[in-house]
């Protein structure tokens, strides 16, 4: 993907947050944090010494609702989020936020026990490089929590065919589960848990939303399936 397409997506993302910030309740991050903790049950216990990085933390990030000492967050739009008073007030001030890309994470090798990336990979400029960087900074035996919209083969074909029209301006990339899982395995990440919402639920919601873009996606049968993964780094990088 060329850089200008990614920059257009970033501008769209920033404008989306700006339009919705006044009415938005950042409390949804608490719900997401509870989902993360539930996903990690039986796999990992977050202690005060657990080093956590969230990639694409947005307004505050899931990690602002986790309670431990070593929490770090990166986002390419951090210089915007840090100027919105509502977001700043909601954030836990002990979390350290940085403006940075997932393609070039500003931390040393083997720095983190847990990495969080919640519906972010399809916003990135070079998703494969982001995955490589995650493996670089994740400790041996460390875990990563991924949640990502995925599509079946037909949905992927439709979305890529429509990409020239930028129907979905904020999401320049489209993934199948097979692609993501092959990528993880190739990089030495073992899938410990996978949970999917299902295509039909999204399709039914889009069909009845009343929004033109949703109706187009529903009639083309290109719904997304929100898929959650917990993976463990098992092969040294």
Q: How far apart are CA 166 and CA 172, in angstroms?
A: 8
pTM score, whole prediction = 0.92
Nearest to 84 by CA among 32, 29, 26, 27: 26
Give the mean model confidence (pLDDT) for residues 43-59: 96
In total, the chain counts a number of residues equal to: 237
% of the chain residues with pLDDT over 70 = 98
Least confident of 50-54, 57-61, 211-215: 211-215
Nearest to 81 by CA among 66, 67, 95, 70: 95
Q: How far apart are CA 64 and CA 91, in angstroms?
A: 6
Across-strand partners of 118?
A: 147
Instruction: State how far Cα 31 lies from the chain centre.
Output: 15
For 115-174, how does the pLDDT look when each residue is reduced to its tens digit (9 = 90+)? 999 999 999 999 999 999 999 999 999 999 999 999 988 888 888 887 777 767 888 999
Give the mean model confidence (pLDDT) for residues 12-31: 94
């Amino acid at each position: 993907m060329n850089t200008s397409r990614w920059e257009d997506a970033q501008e769209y993302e920033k404008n989306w947050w700006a339009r919705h910030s006044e009415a938005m309740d950042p409390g949804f991050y608490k719900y997401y944090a509870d989902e993360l903790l539930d996903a990690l049950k039986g796999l990992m216990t977050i202690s005060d010494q657990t080093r956590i990085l969230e990639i694409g933390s947005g307004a505050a990030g899931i990690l602002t609702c986790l309670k431990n000492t070593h929490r770090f967050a990166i986002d390419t739009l951090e210089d915007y989020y840090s100027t919105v008073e509502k977001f700043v007030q909601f954030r836990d001030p002990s979390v350290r936020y940085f403006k940075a890309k997932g393609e070039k994470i500003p931390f040393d090798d083997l720095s983190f026990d847990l990495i969080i990336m919640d519906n972010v990979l399809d916003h990135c400029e070079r998703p494969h490089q982001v995955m490589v960087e995650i493996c670089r900074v994740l400790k041996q035996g460390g875990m990563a929590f991924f949640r990502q919209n995925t599509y079946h083969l037909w949905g992927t074909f439709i979305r890529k065919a429509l990409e020239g029209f930028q129907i979905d301006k904020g999401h320049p990339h489209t993934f199948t589960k097979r692609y993501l899982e092959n990528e993880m395995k190739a990089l030495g990440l073992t899938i410990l848990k996978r949970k999917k919402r299902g295509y039909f639920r999204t399709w039914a919601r889009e069909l009845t939303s009343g929004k033109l873009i949703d109706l187009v996606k529903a009639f083309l049968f290109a719904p997304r399936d929100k898929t959650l993964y917990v993976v463990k780094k098992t092969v040294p990088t």
